[in-house]
Amino acid sequence: MIPVLKEARWLAVLVAATLTVGGCGGSSGGGGGGSGGGSIAKNYHLSGAHFNVGAKEFTEQQVLGYITTNALKAAGASVNYQSLTGSNTVRAALTSGRIDMYWEYDGTAWLSYLNNTMPIKDPKEQFQSVSRTDLSQNHIKWLSPANFSDTYAVAVRQNAPGAMGQVKNLSQLASFVKAHPADSTFCGASEFLNRSDGLPGLEKTYGFTFPAGNIKTVDLAIDYISVAKGNPCNFAEVFTTDGRIQTLHLKVLDDDKATFASYVPALNVREQAYTPSSKQLNGISADLANKLTTDTMQQLNKQVDVDGMTAEDVAKSWLSKNGFV
């Protein structure tokens, strides 16, 4: 199922790389005070407010959770931070009132919580439909969407030779496979190779098929290394915000026919917690979301998963560098 995509992918990466998220497991309480000269302290005033911020267990969610926690503290709020395991767990924590907010992906909500069977092809329409439906049915507010979607993608190494190096989107990949079948080798995890929204859907949308003997099933955690080396594959499954895309000098091919579902994150706030400080939360969320691009998220994830920094330190550094705190 698409809704467990994020947890399955990141757990595989963490186990294989023997990485942890350090001090992300407990709470991070205390008052903010709004000290410092950052834009959040100057523009927003949440003194006296208290929020419980949640996050799922994988790197990207931990970074987003700590960004939110420290931004709210900078505005003067008292914040308790909780790391939870799995989409269903953190969603239940939100709807039950155990937490007040966390970042969720619209694709996960549309397919899992709102029980739809197929994603909406137009990303803007999907986000709007999720926002509207979740508020009316579950009293969950979706604030400003980030400027990235963490979803399936296909990558090739940046220094790939000849015609392979000229491939920039999936339509061009389809043409390349037809013209150069011997060089059209592909690595992917078993789930991606067999899911209707993975490789089968990709091939159907773009009208081509990788030669059967050229498809290699590899563990997702080593997928990136395989395509970076060009051995045993020249093309591979990746996720758009994975930090190893930058580290290993990979080029993500544009999904020009939108075969892969959109997974745009936004801060989800239960309506009861949202109402008293709506303008403040809207403003803070919009400021943060506007800066969270694909390149930015790749870099932040890399700092944790590759460079060994803690998610909390990465979040604090990013907020400071961007003048928020």
Q: Answer whether 60's CB lies under 8 Å from 243's CB.
A: no
Residue 241, CB-side half-sphere exposure with 13 Å CA sphere: 28
Predicted pLDDT of residue 197: 86
What letters, b where the CB count within 10 A reaches 16 and e where it falls short, cover 156-193? bbeebeeebeebeebbbbbebbeeeeebbbbbbbebbb
Per DSSP, 18 falls in state T
**Same fold yes or no, 2-149+265-321 and 152-252:** yes
Residue 197, CB-side half-sphere exposure with 13 Å CA sphere: 17
Which tens digits make up the pLDDT trace of 175-221?
Answer: 999 999 999 999 999 989 998 889 999 999 999 999 989 999 998 87
Q: Please give the helix or strand (H or E) that residue 165 lies within, else none.
A: helix 162-165
Q: Please give the helix or strand (H or E) that residue 194 lies within, else none.
A: helix 190-194
Q: Answer whether 148's CB lies under 8 Å from 292's CB.
A: yes
C-alpha angle 262-268-272 in degrees, rounded to nearest 5: 155
Q: What is the mean pLDDT of the chain?
A: 90
Nearest to residue 68, comparing CAs of 84, 57, 56, 55? Answer: 55
Nearest to residue 151, comparing CAs of 242, 51, 222? Answer: 242
Spell out the domain ranges in the chain: 2-149+265-321, 152-252
Report whether pLDDT(53) > 80. yes
d(CA 21, CA 14): 9
Q: Answer whether 21's CB lies under 8 Å from 65's CB.
A: no
Token digits of residue 81: 């931070």
Question: Average of pLDDT values for 223-228?
Answer: 96
d(CA 325, CA 49): 18
Question: Of 21-35, 44-58, 238-252, which range is least confident?
Answer: 21-35
Report whether pLDDT(28) > 50. no
Predicted pLDDT of residue 36: 53
Report whether pLDDT(31) > 60. no
d(CA 218, CA 223): 6
- Going by pLDDT thresholds of 50, 70 and 90, the confidence category of residue 25 is very low
Report whether pLDDT(69) > 90. yes
Residue that the structure tokens 């090739």 belong to: 156
**Could you tell me the fold of the domain covering 2-149+265-321?**
D-Maltodextrin-Binding Protein; domain 2 (3.40.190)
Report whether pLDDT(283) > 90. yes
Q: Answer whether 175's CB lies under 8 Å from 253's CB.
A: no
**Could you tell me the fold of the domain covering 152-252?**
D-Maltodextrin-Binding Protein; domain 2 (3.40.190)
The pTM (predicted TM-score) of the whole model is: 0.86
